Amino acid sequence: MSIQWGIAGSGRISHMIAAEFGAVEDAEVVAVGSRSTERARAFAAEFGIPHAHGSYEALVADPQVDALYIGTPNARHFPLALAAIDAGKAVLVEKSMCCQGEHARQLIRAAAERRVFLMEGMWTRFLPAIRAAHQAVESGRIGQVRTLQGDLFAHRPFDPTDRLFAPELGGGAMLDLGVYVLHFAQDFLGAPCSMQCTGRCYDNGVDADMGLQLRYDDGSFAQLCCSLAGHGPARMVIAGTEGFIEVGPRFHHPSEITVHAPDDGPQVISEPFEGSGYRLELQSVTDAIASGATEHELVPLADSLAVSQTMTEALDRFGYRPHDQLTL
């Protein structure tokens, strides 16, 4: 059965997603929605999408749409996802799922009540190199994982009119970059039991960079940092009692990993991917929706909630509380 998709948003990420859908089996993009009719029509013409809606309300109400991909700025994720869930549609919402942990909890509860699929778009987890890293850990090649260290820096000149730096749109390093480092740690270590953080904010209160140390019940820990104000390799190291694994750079879309084990030395495992990397996620989500699943095993909702809560706690300590918009 073909799943008919709608795309909410007509910006850069939505363009990348629309292009990747061409390689996804049993999926068809039938509608796009934007706050501008002109932009929606231009997007639809570019990708051959039959229906263009000049409002998100119209997109959510479109009876031909089975599933909605939400690619709007962070602050608009919550009301759109909630409206789509209420309409009985499956939802793939771009990371970060919400600007507040409590709103992520509300989405998860609503999806459970309506028995519809919901997933945060953490596409990194579907990439072959990340799956290879899991296989190396699970095989015991590096022993027991004790520490995870990594960063994600993406230097951008400060521009308060850009959505990356706008508090009303959920801007800041944590929600755009920190979500990746925290999901990586969540994927390999689970939910932390405690957190320490340091960082700084721009003059408008939005976080510029953040350093986190997470501790876990078994004594392991993660050291992570993210920044919009500096440059860095975007590398992750998974350190174990018998060796370690290097992922990337850049770790959130790696094409290879290097396994360092005392017995056989460094081994480079090459795992390239086609396109921009999103098609693996889109195919897997399409298949899950078609099967009647309500969440995906590679990005479980418990992980998204834990990450969202950690981000909220960290930002609260710096007095930056980005708010999800509550209405469309």
Q: Which amino acid is at 319?
A: G
* Whether 22 contacts 5, CB under 8 Å: no
Task: Report the SS3 class of residue 251.
Answer: coil
| Continuous segment of H or E residues that includes residue 175 | none
Tokens read off for 105: 């909890």
**95 given a catalytic annotation:** yes
User: DSSP per residue over 88-110, as a string?
Assistant: T-EEEEESSS-SSHHHHHHHHHH
Give first-to-last CA distance, the chain, whole Å. 31
* Whether 321 contacts 175, CB under 8 Å: no
Regarding beta strands 221-227 and 207-215, do their DSSP bridges make them parallel or antiparallel, or are they unpaired? antiparallel
Q: Rounded distance, CA 101 to CA 5, Å?
A: 27
Catalytic residue, from 76, 95, 183, 253: name it: 95
Residues in the chain: 328
Active site residues: 95
